[in-house]
């Protein structure tokens, strides 16, 4: 065997070992890409949940407001009946009692509608907080993917380790969104 052939074989062996040394980095990049995709989908779904819940809260507040307006109108009519002289006081008392019954019923309904609307608003705040955590996790995982990819260009594992730090932070951020519901 000649010296040049031996040198070529040695270079091929070194090239193959360098490539196999980068396999964990490439695998890590693949995993990070999947994590970015999953986190993005979860973030989008959580944003959608927040929007839909906000719509429900708005509908509930509209329902509350409609009842409040009806209650106010009934109260004004009852007050007017108390001031106006009617030819049949017994009929007026009957109408006043009916209005008073409506007022009592609507007062309870108003409290229920307000409580439901406030509960929905709390759910919106929670969904927005979770969506924010998913967005932050997505950004961290994307940064990790980019930093890790620099390892393939520089052949320096320091970038891989640095990328793993960002990946861990991204995973923790995404996981924290499941803790706060």
pLDDT at position 20: 74
- Give every CB contact of residue 178 below 8 A, 6+ residues apart in sequence: 130
Compute how many other C-beta atoms are within 10 angstroms of the C-beta atom of residue 41: 12
Q: Dihedrals φ, ψ of 81, to 5°?
A: -65, -30
pLDDT tens digits, one per residue of 2-41: 666 656 655 554 555 556 778 899 999 999 999 999 999 9
Tokens (6 digits) for 22: 């980068």
pLDDT at position 149: 93
Q: How far apart are CA 97 and CA 46, in angstroms?
A: 49
Output the CA–CA distances (angstroms, integers) from residue 39 to 21, 45, 146, in the order listed: 29, 10, 16
- Going from N- to C-terminal start, the domains of the chain cover 3-179
């Amino acid at each position: 065997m000649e010296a040049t052939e031996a040198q070529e074989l040695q270079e091929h062996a070194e090239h193959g070992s360098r490539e196999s040394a980068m396999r964990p980095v490439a695998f890590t990049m693949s995993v990070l890409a999947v994590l970015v995709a999953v986190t993005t989908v979860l973030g989008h779904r959580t944003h959608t949940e927040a929007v839909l819940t906000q719509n429900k809260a708005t509908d509930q507040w509209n329902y509350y407001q409609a009842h409040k307006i009806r209650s106010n109108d009934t109260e004004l009519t009852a007050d007017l009946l108390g001031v106006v002289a009617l030819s049949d006081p017994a009929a007026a008392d009957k109408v006043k009692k009916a209005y008073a019954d409506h007022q009592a019923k609507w007062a309870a309904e108003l409290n229920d509608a307000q409580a439901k609307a406030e509960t929905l608003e709390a759910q919106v705040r929670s969904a927005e907080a979770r969506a924010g955590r998913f967005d932050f996790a997505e950004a961290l995982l994307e940064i990790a993917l980019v930093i890790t990819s620099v390892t393939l260009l520089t052949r320096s594992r320091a970038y891989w380790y640095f990328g793993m730090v960002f990946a861990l932070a991204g995973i923790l951020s995404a996981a924290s969104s499941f803790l706060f519901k």
